[in-house]
């Protein structure tokens, strides 16, 4: 399935990505940020129902000056927030969260509409690519915070450090050789109030002609890629 997923992302399509039974046990709709449209935001909003986020490569985050939200809060002054900031052990399935800033593009109105979120996401993707090309990006000139699009900063060492949907999707973007900025949205089940089961996520993928991919497939393929970049597709 990894080759089909890579082909889909290269064409700007959506895939379903399940992290693992030992982690969140959740399936996310994943797609390239540069291919985002208002209609696709609506699809994620209605068919998935989770939080629509954009994951970005750690090098781009560093060059754009985007912190982890936990670090930002930890160093904030003038607020009694010490007990609120994430601590080791707070998340049972992980060591830390990947959340960074929440932003709107400055050309948006409220920022929450499908049109506004699609614009913000596409412009973030452009900023990521420009930063990785070595160009100077004035992030504050283009975006404002707080906003309605959560940024997820992938771990510095990607899958060797963390195997969340953020890192898995960025590694997948790397395998596909596209801009390493991906849109993620968790698939939820309105009947159970929980995450959509793997079985139902696979059924959704089948009914909608989408690839269903397990995180371990990306981990294995990315490992092969690091050992021999010419060996991957």
Catalytic residues: 28, 53, 93, 104, 148, 186
Which single residue is written with the structure tokens 């900031």?
85
How far apart are alpha carbons 18 and 214 in whole angstroms? 5
Q: Judge whether 180 and 56 are in contact, CB under 8 Å.
A: yes
Number of neighbours of residue 140 by Cβ within 10 angstroms? 12
**Closest to 31 (Cα-Cα) out of 3, 12, 56:** 12
Q: Judge whether 45 and 116 are in contact, CB under 8 Å.
A: no
Q: Judge whether 115 and 38 are in contact, CB under 8 Å.
A: yes
């Amino acid at each position: 399935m990894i080759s089909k997923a890579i082909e889909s992302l290269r064409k700007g399509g959506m895939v379903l990505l399940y992290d693992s039974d030992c982690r969140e046990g959740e399936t996310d709709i994943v797609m390239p940020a540069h291919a985002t449209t208002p209609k696709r935001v609506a699809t994620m909003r209605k068919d998935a129902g989770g939080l629509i986020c954009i994951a970005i490569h750690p090098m781009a985050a560093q060059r754009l000056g985007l912190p982890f939200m936990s670090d930002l809060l930890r160093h904030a002054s003038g607020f009694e927030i010490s007990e609120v900031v994430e601590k080791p052990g707070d998340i049972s399935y992980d060591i830390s969260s990947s959340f960074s800033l929440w932003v709107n593009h400055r050309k948006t109105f409220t920022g929450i509409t499908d049109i506004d979120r699609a614009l913000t996401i596409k412009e973030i993707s452009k900023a990521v690519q420009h930063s990785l090309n070595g160009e100077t990006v004035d992030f504050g000139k283009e975006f404002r915070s707080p906003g309605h699009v959560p940024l997820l900063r992938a771990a510095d060492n990607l899958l060797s450090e963390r195997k969340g949907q953020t890192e898995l999707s960025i590694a997948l973007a790397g395998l596909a050789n596209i801009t390493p900025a991906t849109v993620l949205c968790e698939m939820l089940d309105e009947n159970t109030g929980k995450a959509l089961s793997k079985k139902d996520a696979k059924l959704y993928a089948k009914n909608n002609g989408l690839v269903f991919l397990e995180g371990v497939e990306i981990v294995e393929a990315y490992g092969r890629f690091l050992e021999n970049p010419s060996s991957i597709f």
